[in-house]
Homo-oligomer: A and B are copies of this chain.
């Protein structure tokens, strides 16, 4: 048979990728050692070496999340897969979930829960505001949710949510506590066990500077009990926490079972990222560093006449800073000027903040005063340039 579709011409041009300063809301730059690790030869999904790397990563994630949960592993998929894995396993048809919505991640949890046909209750906050324990308690009284969702860092606004006391509230109501830590793992304190969190997930392409596509997640014994008591099957195979746990060796005295072909290359990147994170001092050092660098960065911007979107310094996320777009400035012009002239990434708003803010991420190896000063300089120059253009 002859071919119907001829060879495409676009592949005649070689693949070319320029290096940028990845100071948007993520992905962040890879460390050279991480890049190097990704060109290592492929391994099979059940090779001894691969399983050892998976075991190492599991220990690394337990440390990063500060948890003893044996049920700690990675989902093969982007950060969104962490959220979907959490919700798909914990929710059954008609279950009530209470979602706090302070930006896009609450919206995403709402959409996913509706797709799963849950009874979805949402506690909406203005973008940039956090949820108080009192507000949450009022909603618990009204709705008696079986699952509660909170984003620790709301990357669409740059807000850091307090996590204390919510775990106790959840226990009081026999409710499971899901926390989105995509933007905060490694830059702000998360103690999964101490905070009584039942499911926490993160992303690799933020503070860890690793490639996205493999997403750390942890389930508490309480979460597993709930899954075991389900009346219906988990609708997803790929995100089934029990099947994934079997592959990731999470059950004692249980053989590993082939579940899917994990990408060894992504495992290399993540293992190297965790190793580097540890070598650079680990959690306390990273928390302190992110906090200090973003605080300096905010001061620098304010001294140059810019306004930080989150007023209260205690509510500022130490990895993503949001800056109000000055009056009469087109943010797209600023962003494209910075990229075109300096290969520096500045993100715009997302979801409810579109057009209102710039977002700058100083994550992992980019959380230095040097990077902060460079991106501040580029931002200020780009805003001035956009001002000039708009006056012409």
Contact = CB atoms under 8 A, between A and B. Distances in A.
Interface in A256-277: 258-266, 268-269, 271-272, 274-275
A4 B77 contact: no
B35 A41 contact: yes
B35 A39 contact: yes
Contact of A4 (B194, B203, B237): B194
Contact of A261 (B3, B27, B266, B271): B27
Contacts of A174: none
A191 interface: yes
A358 to B, nearest CB: 15
Nearest to A38: B38
Nearest to A279: B11
Contacts of A5: 62-63, 66-68
A78 B44 CA distance: 13
A53 B13 CA distance: 11
Contact of A236 (B44, B45, B115): B115
Interface in A27-48: 27-30, 35-45, 47
A235 B26 CA distance: 27
Nearest to A30: B42
Given A191-B4, A278-B11, A345-B44, A84 B262 contact: no
Contact of A205 (B29, B67, B108, B261): B261
A11 to B, nearest CB: 4
Interface residues of A, number: 99
Q: Please indicate which of the listed interface residues A10, A47, A111, A262 has the most CB atoms of chain B within 10 Å of its own CB.
A: A10
A235 B115 contact: yes
A373 interface: no
Contacts of A283: 3
A56 to B, nearest CB: 5
Given A79-B260, A115-B237, A272-B15, A1 B189 contact: yes
A56 B33 CA distance: 29
Contacts of A266: 211, 213, 263, 265-266
B30 A17 contact: no
Contacts of A28: 42
A35 to B, nearest CB: 4
Q: Please indicate which of the listed interface residues A111, A214, A237, A278 has the most CB atoms of chain B within 10 Å of its own CB.
A: A237
A112 interface: yes
A224 interface: no
B39 A235 contact: no
B237 A84 contact: yes
A8 B59 contact: yes
Nearest to A22: B42
Interface of A: 1, 3-8, 10-11, 14-15, 17-20, 22, 24, 26-30, 35-45, 47, 49, 53, 55-56, 59-60, 62-63, 66-68, 76-81, 84, 88, 108, 111-112, 114-117, 189, 191, 193-194, 203, 205, 211-214, 232-238, 240, 258-266, 268-269, 271-272, 274-275, 278, 282-284, 345, 350
18 contacts: A4-B193, A6-B63, A8-B62, A10-B59, A11-B278, A20-B44, A35-B40, A35-B41, A36-B39, A76-B81, A78-B260, A79-B261, A80-B237, A80-B238, A112-B237, A115-B233, A115-B236, A213-B214
